[in-house]
Each structure stands twice: as structure tokens, then as C-alpha cells.
Amino acid sequence: MSVLSEMNKAEQRIRAKEVFTVVDADGQIREDVKVITPEMKEAYKKRTELEAYKNRTDNPFTIVNMEASKEVTAIEELNTKELGYFLILQSYVDYSNMIKKANTTLPMTEKEIGEALKLKDKRAYSKVIEKFITLGLMYKESVTLYSKEYQAFFVDKKYCFRGSNRSDKVVKMFITSVQELYNQDGIKPADIGFLFMVLPYMHYESNHLVKHPYERDYAKAEAISQKDIVEITGLDEKKVKKHLKMKLSGVHVFATFRAGRNSVYKVNPSLFFRGVMPDEKLKADFILTGQSL
């Protein structure tokens, strides 16, 4: 290494030290004071967000039935927004499938269900609830809790439940992450409805979207293309592209990988996972360059 190069490096170190040196009113250098620049603050914020994101899979989860979900998406009376509402309600069920308030054991009222769905108008949320009950997705019955009777709403256990499960034809929905996604600015009920429509196509452990989700052999599973997603969801290409760009705290909900001329899609394991628990390698697909903040 040349002398000139060494001198340049030394000058850079001196300049860096000068930038972060604090001098008090008496002209004394303060070694006990730490300077945080806007750049350092922003870098720290991104590191903190990324750490929070990586730990989201510790969330409690609801188990969503894949085959039953496919049946729901085929119901002509339901639009994409209403599919989103139904999935959000599944994130609020307890172990009896009662829709309950967060951090309590008490059932949600109609109004509270409306608030969870981000519907302020009573006619709007009452209409959604009534429709779900008519279609058999939900039901209402009296429950007694702490010596008091309540009218409670339940999601039918055919579609989801809390607890253990031995079937591999299910998807774990991480409750806090899904609710956090829905509460983000710019995320609409139809975005969540799109997620609901593609859940039945998630491959075991890899979270890839495939044509044959129960086929463990990757060579036979067959990756789903964007054109396939358009066909599966019945949405136009423009809407599909928009939904595929969703983000949770700056991290993509769908990872996109190029395979020759085709794209392969994978669902973020902080939101949904098929298997016991996603490993670090799967999480890395969403944290590394191109998929992260």
C-alpha cells in the first residue's frame, strides 16, 4: 500500500473523529458525550424494524383449513373485500372459535367486529355479519362468562380453529402480523381477500405458491405463474400485480424469484406458514437484498 494511500486513510480517520468530537463551553473535549447523526438514527431505526420483523413468527396463530378456504373463495356471493373480512375475523377467534376482543376473554359486539374490520357504518358491518351467518361461515349464540350472559359470534370450525392439528392441509396464520398488516395505511380489505384466495396454494415448508400444494416432491408441485394467479383469483392482471407488491413494515408479503423466463412466488412466513415453524433460511428470503427494507 502506497504512502499516499496511507496518508489519505489517516486524513479520513481524523476527519471522522473531528465530526464526532464534542467541545463544551469551556473549550474542553467531552469524551463522555455520544453524537448521533440523522444517518445513524435512520440506520438504527431500520435495524430495529428488521429485528422486530424477524421475531414476528413467535406470534400465536390461527389454523386455517386450505380446502375449506378454497370452497369459500368459490362462493359467488362473496367479493374480494368480503373474503378479506372473513380472513381478518379468523384472526380474532379463541379456542372455542368465538370472535373475542383482543387481550380479553369477552366476545366482540357487532360494533367491535365492525371496528376490527375497519367498517364504521352500522349498516355496512351488520350486512357483512348477516351475510356470513346466512352462508354458514359464522353463527351466533348465547354464552355465559363470569356469571353474565353475552350474545357471541363464532366462526365455524370447518374454516379455522386454534390449537394443535395433525393434518398438513392447513396454514398457520400468525395473528398479530396479519392484524398489523391490515391496520397499515394503504392496505385494503381486498388485499387481505387476495391473500385468502392464494392460501390454498401454499407448498409445505417452502411457502411457494404451487399448483399441487400437497405434493412434497418439488418437481411435481409446479410453481404458479402470475398468469395462473390471475386465473385462480379471477382478478385482472393490474390488480394482481398491485396485491403482489404488498409490504409488512417495509418487508414484502410476497417474495418474487426469477426462474428463467418465469417468476416464482413465495408467501412471507411472518404472516402465514405451512409446517411446524419457518427456519432461518426461509426467513432470509425476505430479509436479504431485494426483499427487505
Over range 227-231, report the average pLDDT: 95
Task: For 240-293, write each residue's pLDDT tens digit.
Answer: 999 999 998 888 899 888 777 778 899 999 899 998 777 666 776 676 644 444
Q: Extract the runs of DSSP E, i.e. beta strands, from the chain.
A: 22-23, 29-30, 61-65, 138-145, 148-155, 160-161, 170-174, 247-248, 251-252, 254-259, 262-267, 272-273
Element (H, E) at 81: helix 80-90
Of 87-91, 123-127, 214-218, minimum mean pLDDT range = 214-218
Query: What phi, psi does 202 have (nearest 5°)?
Result: -80, 130
Q: How many residues does the chain have?
A: 293
* Cβ pair 178, 84 in contact under 8 A: no
The predicted model scores a pTM of 0.78
27 vs 238, residue with greater confidence: 238
Over range 62-70, report the average pLDDT: 96
Distances from the Cα of 239 to the Cα of 118, 193, 233, 236, 282, angstroms = 21, 12, 10, 6, 27
C-alpha 19: how far from chain center? 41
The confidence score (pLDDT) of residue 48 equals: 58
192 vs 54, residue with greater confidence: 192
Instruction: Tell me the three cell numbers of residue 259.
Output: 426462474
Please state, in angstroms and rounded to a whole number, the distance separating the CA atoms of residues 134 and 136.
5
Task: For 19-59, write each residue's pLDDT tens digit.
Answer: 556 666 666 666 666 666 776 666 665 555 545 544 444 57
Question: Strand, helix or coil at 257?
Answer: strand
Task: For 143-185, write each residue's pLDDT tens digit.
Answer: 999 889 999 999 999 999 998 878 889 999 999 999 999 999 9
Give me the chain's average pLDDT, please. 84
Please state, in angstroms and rounded to a whole number, the distance separating the CA atoms of residues 255 and 291.
6
Please state, in angstroms and rounded to a whole number, the distance separating the CA atoms of residues 102 and 105.
8
Please state, in angstroms and rounded to a whole number, the distance separating the CA atoms of residues 131 and 111.
16
Question: Strand, helix or coil at 127?
Answer: helix
* Cβ pair 98, 143 in contact under 8 A: yes
Query: What phi, psi does 30 have (nearest 5°)?
Result: -95, 105
